Amino acid sequence: DVKVTQSSRYLVKRTGEKVFLECVQDMDHENMFWYRQDPGLGLRLIYFSYDVKMKEKGDIPEGYSVSREKKERFSLILESASTNQTSMYLCASSLGQFNQPQHFGDGTRLSIL
Amino acid sequence: AQTVTQSQPEMSVQEAETVTLSCTYDTSESNYYLFWYKQPPSRQMILVIRQEAYKQQNATENRFSVNFQKAAKSFSLKISDSQLGDTAMYFCAFRGSGGSYIPTFGRGTSLIVHP
């Protein structure tokens, strides 16, 4: 079974801090994704990576950056955390074909105080 | 650009009954896949079922089946013999063959199964 592991289940940070959310997958998937999930808004794509060092902006990239130095690891960075970034963050991975489903991590519930 | 619409934010059903969750989408692509995902409370999102656009036969996975109407761009999920463990958020998603294969999600339907 594919395993997508997010480094923290719950995280509390302060306004202005630089925050790192880590995601690791163990199935050699080409594609990795970071989503933000808020009630009533569904999943909104922050960034997508289709290969090592390759990335595309999603729907809401402002205030975020990403890093993919190795195929299995995809990091989301909040450069200067703000209270409106308090949310659930989901990482996902998939093979690089359009017929492939995504595999999700457990999510990180991030609170910015 | 693709859009996916789930028009029912919340639904409820009695245990052992059947419930249908609706999903419509809009696309100009001819080849694509549609997915239903389930996210139980505080648990991981998992794939429930998927359907290829070129297949006329509706996909089925145990108690879960879809009604895929390509011309109407409709992709509903039917859950038969509902169980308490079916209580979850359900998301419909589209993944097309063009471009970068980025999936498009609906906003989700919260399903509660009552005992």
Quote the minimal CA–CA distance from A97 to chain B in Å: 7
Q: Above 80 in pLDDT, residue A2?
A: no
Please give the Cα distance from B106 to A37 (Å, whole number).
12
Q: Which residues of A touch B91 (CB under 8 A)?
A: 42-43
Report CB contact under 8 Å: A48, B97: no
> Would you state the structure tokens that stand for residue A44, as one six-digit string?
């909104």
- CA of A57: which chain B residue's CA is closest? B102
What does the pLDDT look like over A34-85, one tens digit per residue?
Answer: 999 999 899 999 999 999 989 999 999 999 999 999 999 999 999 999 999 9
Selected for mutation to probe chain B from A30, A90, A98 (highest B CB count within 10 Å) is A98
Quote the minimal CA–CA distance from B88 to chain A in Å: 13
Average pLDDT per consecutive 10 residues, chain B (115 residues; last block may be shorter): 92 98 94 96 94 93 96 97 98 87 93 97
Report CB contact under 8 Å: B102, A96: no
Quote the minimal CA–CA distance from A24 to chain B in Å: 15
